[in-house]
Structure 1
Amino acid sequence: MDAKEKVNILLVDDQPGKLLSYEAILGELDENLVKAGSAREAFEHLLKTDIAVILIDVCMPELNGFELAAMIREHPRFQRVAIIFVSAVQIADPDLLRGYEAGAVDYVPVPVIPEVLRAKVKVFAELHQKTRQLERLNAELEARVAERTAALERSTAQLKRLNQDLEQRIEERTHERERALAQLFEAQKMDAIGQLTGGVAHDFNNLLTAVMGSLELLKKRLPDDARMKRLVDTAMQGAERGAALTQRLLAFSRRQELKPEAVDVAQLIHGMEELLTRALGPGVQIEKRLPPDLKLARVDGNQLELALLNLVVNARDAMPSGGAIMIAASNEVITAQNARKGMSPGVYVRISVIDAGFGMDTETLVKAADPFFTTKGPTKGTGLGLSMVQGLAAQSGGAIEISSEVGVGTTVDLWLPQAEPGTQRRFGGDGRKAPELRLAPCTVLLVDDDVLVSAGTASILEDLGHSVIVAHSGAEALRILQSGASPDLIITDYAMPGMTGLELARSVREKYPDVPILLASGYAELPLPAMGGEALPRLAKPFRQDELVAAMAEASSR
């Protein structure tokens, strides 16, 4: 077969539109494309034509793709024809095995990526061409064996090298496809986590906005009763912890940018003691070894709390019979002589979480920090805990080290860079509050489709001395403005049905360019395009009264 001779590619699908799309995609290969709308028609083409590659739809009414492939493979002429399945449904592992047993060499998911489909078909078309070349060359060599024995031996050696090269190329392509599929599955999994946590956290943030606002107002109106105030403070702390949890979920799933700051690690750990005790339950105790001269670490404090909580919970799970978990910290110096993997020379704070559990063998230890790897069994772990800690350490300029011995226990060392001297500390500062910010009474147009949130926010604004006009949609807000209302400030939620807060802001800017706009949102990440060259100020839900005042002041000053 001449190298330029076209090969025949059979396209099998009961839907003419899909056949046309495959024909358009594969037209660039400059090969002969043969179309069949049924299994019967496909067999007619196979019996009359030398087919190099068959593209089969898995789901067909007369005979599905698996059954058709099995029938093709039963015919002795078609033992080596390359069969590629096209599937519009999620293919599970059993279906993959069934397809390969039926004779498939590859899968292409729908929606089809044109470049991927062309590349896969091209590989097997070229393989078909090379195979035919080899067959014809062998036939010619056998006919001339008597007169050209030496030439035959050289050609045989050349053929062996060519076969090895082809096998190597096929193996490389197979590995590339497996890596691409693994990356795709991982990306899809992370995207699903991001969408789920994003929606759930947004709804929780809306609820927490109403809860925290009402608690603040209630505390102002309580009689001088220490017990009642203590109960309100406890409820507020619970709401704030819930808000922090939703932000951490969003920060992980959407890879939110970290906010590093100078953190007093010892004070942070002391402040978490009650939370850790409740998380561990009875039978497990926390022991601490924190030197008084421990330096400040440069890290996102909220993410460090979550990382320590994950490490301690992992340690608890490794000790089903109970015991003690040690949390230790120390100042460390890394030099070129004692450099560690992934760490630059410098000064660090090392935080160690040590358990006396059943430990890990070498194979488990190697994969311990891999995303979604867990030894806790179904429904008992996500496999995200250590990967989150590793990500925090890497993004912060540090690293984690895990050492373990079966039957002895596990130590996880979290290395974080020390903060620059003189940096303002977090967790353990001098406790002085920022001066209270006050705004002159004004009229606020409040736009939020959630009745609880709008009612709670309106109460806070009225408590601050402002007049409030409430709208429950962007369209209603525009009607209020068109009726002659002249608010001094507009506070609008972002996620609203019909018209988002950003779309409302654009409409307001066109007709009322001088009215300040403050955008509120319960999402952790929100693309905020510039409005007239200036980004809109944003207020994150849930918020406290002082945060609302500060955001209003920022918006009004622009």
Structure 2
Amino acid sequence: MQTAQRNSLRLLQWMMAASLALPLALFVFASAISWVSTNEAADRDIERTLDVAHEHALKVFETIDRSLSETAEIIRGMSDADIVAHEQALHERLGKLADTLPQVKSVWVFDSRGHALVNSLVISPPDMDFSDRDYFRMHADGDAGTYIGEVLTPRPPYQGSQFFGVSRGRMNADGSFAGVIQASVLPEYFENFYARIGSEPGSFLALIRADGAVLAHYPIIHHEFRFEPNGPLGQHIVAHPLSGTMTINSPGDGVERRIRYQRLAEYPIYVSAGLATSAIQARWIATMAPHLIFGVPATALLFALLVLAFRRTRRLHEEANRRIEAEEALRHGQRLEALGQLTGGVAHDFNNLLTVIRGSVDMLRKPDLPESRRLHYIEAISNTVNRAARLTSQLLAFARRQALKPEVFDVGESVRTLSEMVATLIGARIEIVTQVPDEPSLVNADPGQFETAIINMAVNARDAMNGAGRLTITVSRADRLPSATTSTTSSHGHVAVSVADTGVGIPPERLERIFEPFFTTKEVGQGTGLGLSQVFGFAKQSGGEVDVVSEVGKGSTFTLYLPRVTNDGPPQSLLSSDAPPVGQTGASVLVVEDNPEVGKFAADALTQLGCNAVLVDNATHALQELATDARRFDMVFTDVVMPGMSGIELAKEIRRQGLNLPIVLASGYSQVLSQQGSSGFELLQKPYSIEQLAQMLHKVGRSLTVRHDQAPASS
């Protein structure tokens, strides 16, 4: 009996202790989880704020860079005397430029002595020496590219807000230093923007040079400060030069903050965003305070509620896990269905192609087949193989695994081909009109990216017309770009592709932003805002331009300009009929191919072309052959995808050993090729024909010397 009582008392004591210890333990555990979650949420908030500030700063500095380029273009070829002689016109031009950029206080042109020739503020600037300013001194000492200076105070008689200079050097025709072009940028422009996006209590944003100088910051601190290069932030940037996250005491006000920084593209500038750790702690306390207030007065009740909550939470988690498993099963089924549809479509097309090949082969086996029919079936097999290769290329492009490279192609022919696809894409309620010249309009660009750009402009026009109207695609020749003040730098002009719609048009205040990434006026889910950015990037990377003319209520015209090329020089690839004969060359070729059938075909093809082919099945054997006597080979012809060492690795190893043999790669698909290109080596796409192999031999023919003619004569 006593034992039972002691046991019951002991059990009661354990329950009493547990009624205090368990809630306390649960509260400590919840506090720890909440602390981690609060810090993770704060890091996400900091990262989102930094993304906005980084994108803003990048656009601002790119705009300033373009303004400096425009100023340099205006005074190109002008001497200091010419600039002074045209000071009135240049002052007005620079004034208009500065007025259009709210971040720019003024624009200056200095001579080689540091004296202002013209600026956007006043006519006939005072004869003052600015050569001690860092934005001038850095260019006078050497080529500094685009230099971003420290925050400075205007020198009397000039007044106003502080600024920092963004400058470029001016060079004479002989390469000597001619002076500086400089834009004075307002830190308060950034600080006002930071004040808008940093409304969260404890927010911190800063624009920092790589040497630690602070150009702009929020909140405003009315004294200058900097992050020392050997300080915590400087050391962290050395270890992580592109971006990073850390907790430091800010040198300006001594406040401990959680900050994240990111480098601004190619500029020596870092954008930083952060939150005071006290604000993060306040968030955590605000989250945990209700739990504490609720738990202290009713520990026993809380214990019971926590048990019930735990059981309910466990059931909810189990339910959520079952739901996630069901959704994953559904997504897996949808992926399998989509894969089945794709596989079925590919199988259908390839079965059609194989039917033609199989039927042609069966017909070729018939005895006494007339020569004309034999040639017909051979031509059918060749054409079908080409169609299969194009289908494979389209599948790789769809999967974004195609190695992209520029080609010379006819824009007009490409637009004719695209018109049917565009018609299907934009719907039957929109009338499509194409105006393409009869003569070829050749450009050297990536045709896949070009098609994507045209489709993006067409889709943008469709949305502007709300699915009904007229879309006009025009191909023409342009001798100069609309934004250029002098003749175009392309010796052959440009090919202009205009996409005009009859939609609602674009308001003037939005025209300058339409090419910005992620800028869109569409509703959520109706577009990402990256379509026109792709057109802009493709045009710039191809050496061209994109221009837009729009009138509200009457529609818009987007024009893509690409540098025009002529067919006077050597074409991008020789036609089979143009390939010079390579037979009887006597060149010795080392063929590296792991597939026996493909290797035998390559060796036989080279033999038919008059070459001596040595076939090995892997890169190791190829290196052994070269180590034995590399001089007996005139060229290496290797597959890319092979077990062990790949073809690209083999080619690099041959170069590393100092062997200057021509190397030709062959591949149908390679992940390395799609991501990194062919590393400068010649590439022959599979499947290839004997004619294409002959063209490649001719392309590298200058190195295919007949070695046996150079051998010493026998005595």
User: TM-score, structure 2 length as denominator?
Assistant: 0.40
- In our comparison, the structure showing a higher alpha carbon Rg is 2
User: TM-score, structure 1 length as denominator?
Assistant: 0.49
Bigger RCO (CA 8 Å, 6+ sep)? 1
